[in-house]
Every structure is written in C-alpha cells, then in structure tokens.
C-alpha cells in the first residue's frame, strides 16, 4: 500500500500553503508524511504545488517521492490525478490518500484503515459517524477516481457513487480539517 499526501494547495483561507504550517514543532507536510510512513505506507508520494521550492527547502521529506503538480491551482483533483499517475506502475494494491491539512490523523488511524488493503478496497476513516481521512483506494478504482477527480472534489464524487467501508478512528485520531489559523488544535 502506497501513501499519497496531497500538499499542493495555496491555503487561500489559511493565508498561505498549509504544507508549510508549523504546528507542535513540525511542518504539516512532515507530520502527515510521517503518519503515512509510520502507518505502513511505502512508498509515500507527496504532491507539491504552491511554494514547492520552499517546501523542498524547509521540510525533511528525504524518504518520500516528491511530485510537482503544475495544475495545483485547479484544485485537489489535479493533485490526486498526479499522484495516481506516478503510482501507476508501482507494485501496490492500493493507495491511502491524506490531505496535508488534517494534522490530527495519526499512524494508528493509517494502520487501522490500511488493515483493509486490497485491489478492490474503498475504505475511509470516520470520526463520530462523520466520514474523514485517510481514504484507502484499491487499484481497481484508480481509473474511476481519476476520471471524477476535478476541482476540489478529489475522490468525493467517486466515493458517493460506490459502497465505502467506514472505519471508526475517533479513539486514535482526529479528522478535523484545518482551513484557517483559528482551526489549529491546541
């Protein structure tokens, strides 16, 4: 199972790229990549866009595969497609997708969702009954996900059209998105 970290956005509502947000002594992008690796993902692919050069300079991502998304302005869908394209020839059955702005997702949540890895898997973490991240997408679904991944929807439309296994993770992680500085967990 590969890990796919979507870290290309400009963070318009936050005031800058969330990949570069420092929280609890670590950049968001570093913490998210570590959660994926710690949860058993290999390789970990990080899709960059806004401030990609600065992310490369400041973040310790030496164990990750870095991919530039020149179309990052169009939204998360283009980053998801770019990451899936890089993994097309990788010897993995599934990819576990995580957006960079979910700092409460832990390696334990990644492992729990990853326990369902198969080529046909469609699995996502849930938090108190609400769907969240990470999302596990089996290889059999990659073409369909890529086709519907436009704008900021990512895999959302594909997941709405197909049965998805929700795996409760609230006891080991928080799935809250950080859209603005005031959303940062204390």
Give yes or no for a contact between 97 and 45, defined as CB atoms under 8 angstroms apart.
no
Decide if pLDDT at 180 tops 90: no
Overall number of domains in the chain:
1
What beta strand segments (E) does 87-139 contain? 94-99, 122-127, 130-138
pLDDT digits (tens, 9 = 90+) for 33-65: 999 999 999 999 999 999 999 999 999 999 999
Report the chain's mean pLDDT, rounded to a whole number.
95
pTM of the prediction?
A: 0.96
| Boundaries of domain holding 123 | 2-178
Q: What is the distance of C-alpha 142 from the center of its chain?
A: 15
CA-closest candidate to residue 168, choices 87, 108, 81: 108
Decide if pLDDT at 152 tops 90: no
Task: Give pLDDT, residue 3.
Answer: 98
- Calculate what percentage of the chain has a pLDDT beyond 90: 87
Work out the end-to-end distance of the chain between its first and last CA atoms, rounded to an integer number of angstroms.
32
Residue 132 lies in a domain: yes
Residue 152 lies in a domain: yes
Task: Give pLDDT, residue 128.
Answer: 95
The mean pLDDT of 146-162, rounded to a whole number, is 92
* Structure-token pair, residue 181: 């500085």
Residue 183 lies in a domain: no
Task: Give pLDDT, residue 185.
Answer: 77
Residue 90 lies in a domain: yes
pLDDT category of residue 164 using cuts at 50, 70 and 90: very high
- The residues near 28 (Cβ < 8 Å, ≥ 6 apart) are 7, 18, 19, 20, 21, 22, 100, 101, 103, 178
Give yes or no for a contact between 46 and 33, defined as CB atoms under 8 angstroms apart.
yes
Task: Give pLDDT, residue 184.
Answer: 83
Give yes or no for a contact between 49 and 100, defined as CB atoms under 8 angstroms apart.
no
Decide if pLDDT at 186 tops 80: no
Identify the CATH number of the domain in which residue 173 sits: 3.90.550.10
Task: Give pLDDT, residue 153.
Answer: 81
pLDDT category of residue 181 using cuts at 50, 70 and 90: confident
Within a 13 Å sphere around the CA of 95, how many CA atoms are in the beta-carbon half? Answer: 31
């Amino acid at each position: 199972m590969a890990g796919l970290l979507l870290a290309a956005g400009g963070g318009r509502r936050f005031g800058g790229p969330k990949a570069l947000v420092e929280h609890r002594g670590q950049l968001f992008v570093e913490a998210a990549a570590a959660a994926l690796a710690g949860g058993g993902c290999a390789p970990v692919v990080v899709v960059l866009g806004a401030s990609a050069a600065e992310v490369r300079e400041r973040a310790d991502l030496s164990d990750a595969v870095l991919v530039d998304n020149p179309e990052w302005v169009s939204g998360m869908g283009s980053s998801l497609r770019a990451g899936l394209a890089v993994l097309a020839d990788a010897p993995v059955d599934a990819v576990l997708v995580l957006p960079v702005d979910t700092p409460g997702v832990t390696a334990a949540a990644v492992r729990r969702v990853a326990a369902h890895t198969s080529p046909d898997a469609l699995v996502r973490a849930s938090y108190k009954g609400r769907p969240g991240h990470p999302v596990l997408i089996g290889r059999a679904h990659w073409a369909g996900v890529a086709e519907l991944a436009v704008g900021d929807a990512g895999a959302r439309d594909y997941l709405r059209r197909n049965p998805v296994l929700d795996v409760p993770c609230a006891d080991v992680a928080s799935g809250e998105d950080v859209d603005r500085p005031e959303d940062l967990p204390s």
